[in-house]
Chain A
Amino acid sequence: MTDDYVLETRELTKEFKGFVAVNKVNLKVRRGTIHALIGPNGAGKTTCFNLLTQFLPPTRGRIFYKAKEITGSKPSAIARMGLVRSFQISAVFPHLSVLENVRLALQRKRGGSFDFWRSERILNALDDRARELIASVGLSEFEQTIAVELPYGRKRALEIATTLALDPEVMLLDEPTAGMTHEDVGRISALIRRVAQNRTVLMVEHNLSVVADLCDHITVLARGEILAEGDYATVSRNPEVVQAYMGKGYA
């Protein structure tokens, strides 16, 4: 394995009671790229994400992050190593303010926050950095808004700001533009492009124009297996891919 690949899986497999959701996937994510994981519904993309971040234990196979095996680590430990994920459904803390949401991620850098005897006022020291992050995703005017009251697109932006607060080396984004209005899609993809400048992004995405626009490398999954890999032009010409998306007869 070379240092080029920041994230790599070998023969990664997940079975649920006889159903193989992910089958012998060898995924290689090159450092500094935006890598997309696409495929029809049920192809195992989200399962892959859950395996990579150890929210699910793999049945077989190994996962390497920065040339170090992380199979079997705790999900929280993986997050602390700099491999941070988002979720398909928007993952904010709904009844906390936008500022508090971001600050919770910044608070991680203090190490464990087990100090229940101290006033939360010491967290105010993190407010400036939190405001910078909030501004970077265009949410400044919503700083004091309770997250649940934000429109959907803004929630995703908040989620990205929260993830960025951890300064992760690798961001795993699960369908960042799902369910968004056209305008929001543009805003979020611009944001992803910006934040990907000095880190690696692996994203599951259904919106192929976003994928075409953003991603350097694409892996197509179907029925739990890798069907094709390459850049957008290569992948979109692949007859098997077209068939998996459109059904037989289109190839």
Chain B
Amino acid sequence: MNDPAGAPALSEIAIKPLKHVNGAAHRWVAFIVMVAFFALAPTFIYPVFLMKVMCFALFACAFNLLLGYVGLLSFGHAMFLGIAGYAAAYVAKEGLNIEAIRLGTIHIPLNIALPPFTPELAILTGVLAAAILGYVAGLLAIRRQGIYFAMITLALAQMVYFFCLQAPFTGGEDGIQAVPRGKLFGVIDLSDVKAMYATVFVIFIGGFLVIFRIIHSPFGQVMKAIRENEPRATSLGYDTDRYKLIAFVLSATLAGLAGATNALVFQLAALNAVHWTMSGEVVLMTLVGGLGTVFGPVVGVLAVLGMENYLAQLGAWVTIVQGAIFVICVLTFRRGIVGELARWIKKPL
């Protein structure tokens, strides 16, 4: 098991499965608190900041699905966030115009000319792009374990970064700017902040519930078995590589959903979303919140982004404060905020 938070963390918060029916109550409470918070918060917190929080919370939850429940540390998850953002931003702004594909001397005329996509189709395009990238990256990365897995994902993410820097349609250093939010299903105008907020809210809660279900499915049980003891899972007849690949693609897809939504919120796809520091930040957010807990990543994102936002006047000091908090987190509360809370109430969260 290679979770950096250490083995004891999970042991003490581990769950008693048969008591799910009764023991699920506190989770419902936590879920309702979370939903109520994001539903009511825009009345007293800047909504655009909250939309960023929800996008990143979904991103961190997708990352946690892989690290917290399969034990795979991907150090290149920004590539899925970023590529989905670029894909969604591009089709939302430019549509899709491909006259022909040229492969050497082969010339395949396509004559695709689609007008700018509506937001739901743009997001779908972004999600699809992340899923495909996730499949390719997953095929390569899951052949190795531990630190090698992390390094391969990092290397692939760097390749994606340079692709986004150099490719003709990503706008290089400028990114894709002034992306129109468009009209959802051709009806609801998302340039209205309330409509945009509601859309992001639905996507976040939907994504969160999907992740919750994946964790608590028969597939999720096998994921945890692989996290706990991969050779043993193999010896029980599970083809662990296939489970890991599917988990990887699911995680990439959901990260893509976060990235595409984020691009629409900020009407921008830029290089910072594919940069390796973004991959690092999601690790930080997940660890601060609580690795391998359902609600941890959400709390972690709120904490980290909250610091960035409200301590912004400190300038470069924000990074130092963040670093210090990360060190304190690793030294004193290794289970993360939610992890410690769960241990305190002796229930999984």
Residues of A within 8 A of B (CB): 53, 55, 74-77, 79-80, 84-87, 91-97, 99-100, 103-105, 107-108, 110, 112-124, 127, 144, 146, 148-149, 162, 166
Contacts and interface: CB of A to CB of B under 8 A. Distances in A.
A99 B19 CA distance: 12
7 contacts: A76-B234, A93-B228, A97-B17, A103-B221, A112-B239, A116-B213, A120-B220
Contacts of A85: 235
Contacts of A146: 11, 14
B235 A79 contact: yes
A95 B11 contact: yes
Contacts of A94: 1, 7, 11, 228-229
Nearest to A82: B237
A79 B250 CA distance: 27
Given A91-B232, A116-B250, A76 B11 contact: no
A120 B212 CA distance: 11
B221 A108 contact: no
A84 B235 contact: yes
A93 B246 CA distance: 21
Given A95-B7, A100-B221, A115-B217, 13 more contacts: A76-B239, A79-B234, A80-B237, A93-B225, A93-B229, A95-B228, A113-B221, A114-B219, A117-B217, A119-B213, A127-B18, A162-B236, A166-B237
B18 A117 contact: no
Contact of B221 (A75, A87, A104, A127): A104
B222 interface: yes
Contacts of A110: 218
The 7 A-B pairs at the shortest CB distance, nearest first, are namely: A79-B237, A116-B219, A93-B228, A113-B218, A91-B232, A80-B237, A76-B239
B4 to A, nearest CB: 15
A74 B239 contact: yes
A108 B237 contact: yes
B346 interface: no
B206 interface: no
Nearest to A79: B237
Among B17, B213, B233, B235, the most chain A Cβ lie within 10 Å of the Cβ of: B235
B349 to A, nearest CB: 15
Interface in B223-264: 224-225, 228-229, 231-240, 242-243, 246, 250
A95 B10 contact: yes
B216 interface: yes
A118 B237 contact: no
A92 B232 CA distance: 7
B218 A105 contact: no
B165 interface: no
A194 B229 CA distance: 27
Given A93-B224, A97-B17, A108-B237, A120 B217 contact: yes
A116 B217 contact: yes
A166 to B, nearest CB: 6
Interface string B3-14: 000010011001
A104 B222 contact: yes
A80 B233 CA distance: 12
Nearest to B292: A95
Interface string B29-53: 0000000000000000000000000
Given A87-B232, A104-B222, A107-B222, A97 B16 contact: yes
A55 B216 CA distance: 29
A88 to B, nearest CB: 11
Nearest to A93: B228
Given A104-B222, A119-B217, A120-B220, A91 B235 contact: yes
A118 B246 CA distance: 15
Given A113-B218, A127-B18, A104 B236 contact: yes
B214 interface: yes
Nearest to B21: A121
Contacts of A77: 237, 239
B228 A116 contact: no
B14 to A, nearest CB: 5
Contacts of A123: 218, 221
Nearest to A94: B228
A140 B235 CA distance: 24
Given A87-B231, A94-B228, A95-B11, A115 B218 contact: yes
A76 B218 contact: no
Given A115-B218, A120-B216, A91 B16 contact: no
